[in-house]
Amino acid sequence: MRVLVTGHKGYIGTTLVPLLLNDGFDVSGLDSDLFRECTFDDGIVNIPEIIKDVRDVTPRDIEGHDAIIHLAGLSNDPLGDYDPTLTDDINCQGSIKLARIAKQVGVRRFVFASSCSNYGAAGDQFLTEDAAFNPVTPYGESKVNVERAVTQLADKDFSPTFLRASTAYGLSPRIRFDLVVNNLTAWALTTGRVYLKSDGSPWRPIVHVEDISRAYAAALKAPIELVHNQAFNVGTTTENYQIREIAKIVESVVPGCRVDFAPDAGPDKRNYRVDCNRIARTLHGFKPQWTARRGVEQLYEAFMRVGLTLEDFEGERFKRIAHMKKLIDSGHIDGRLRWSSAALEPQI
């Protein structure tokens, strides 16, 4: 199966591509590579690729593929909040355009990187895929709007699948430190504090980046009738935690640290727990292998190995929003997040 992965050079993409190759897929990539200077560790695999903004995709870029895994986009709430019109332009309109072109050129499967952020402010009850959408950020709204539009494109020749990932964590060649487990572990190691900026009460489902990748592979391997126009919460039902519970796990793994709250710590309006039984019942190839504790242990060992410092993880290199602003300020990209002509191969 010929598979195009958009966003193949991002946090999930650099983990997903090797897994797909090992499973025998013929993989190519498409990515604007905004974060090319943000590599944390070795392991990025070279594949045939097009360096292009997803907003600029043409039929020629994607024809001949059997499936698309669409990861590309502004990846979190801070990036989404930076300019909500950009979030709509890239995450929503760009994704819908891609799906329409995919259908036009005969790509059969379209697997979209949706999110449990769709549920937003939802309280303490476990949410199935049939729960109401209640996004509270431009990022979450963009994911909801793509699902609503792309589901209307489904027919016997075009089969979308929506993977609503829990909050990701874990080691990746293009690591993100704006994810709660990664962030708290880095704070603990570099400062001795497991630093909470909220009161720790909100619920959040979490899932390791490798297990997210396994879900994509399982969706491609599954009989198409099982995943046709279906949404799946990606994770394990037992891996729902209150933020303060994650903090206590970090405290128990990283020696000599303590849980500490920011002076203005208050409740976070993003609060949801998800039921992941549908993916467990349907995608028998999806076998999650990680728990929060194992993930924190992995991160702690990796951070120790590279000698992670506070400047590293709070600086411009590994903080997506800060790095993007640096690119804009330096003239490497413009305000619409497109590379300048002089920065085709930027030296940052």
Strand partners for 233: 164
- Whole-number pLDDT of residue 348: 38
Tokens representing 321? 């929003």
Q: Where are the domains of the chain?
A: 2-343
0.75 cut: is pTM over it? yes
CA angle 169, 173, 176 (to 5 degrees): 40
- Whole-number pLDDT of residue 265: 77
List all residues 6 or more positions away from 7 whose beta carbon is below 8 Å from its beta carbon. 13, 30, 31, 54, 70, 71, 72, 73, 113
Query: Is the alpha carbon torsion for 269, 270, 273, 275 positive or negative?
Result: positive
List all residues 6 or more positions away from 255 whose beta carbon is below 8 Å from its beta carbon. none
Cβ neighbours, 10 Å, residue 185: 30
- Whole-number pLDDT of residue 264: 80
Q: What is the pLDDT along the chain (348 residues), one digit of tens a residue?
A: 999 999 999 999 999 999 999 999 999 999 999 999 999 988 899 999 999 999 999 999 999 999 999 999 998 666 667 788 999 999 999 999 999 999 999 999 999 999 999 998 777 889 999 999 999 889 999 999 999 999 999 999 999 999 999 999 999 999 999 899 999 999 999 999 998 988 899 999 999 999 999 999 999 999 999 999 999 999 999 999 999 999 999 999 999 999 999 888 777 777 889 999 999 999 999 999 999 999 999 999 999 999 999 988 888 888 888 888 899 999 999 989 999 975 554 443
- Whole-number pLDDT of residue 316: 85
CB 337 within 8 A of CB 344: no
- Whole-number pLDDT of residue 121: 75
According to DSSP, the β-strands at 67-70 and 2-6 are parallel
CATH of 2-343, one of 3.40.140.10, 3.50.50.60, 3.30.1310.10, 3.40.50.720: 3.40.50.720
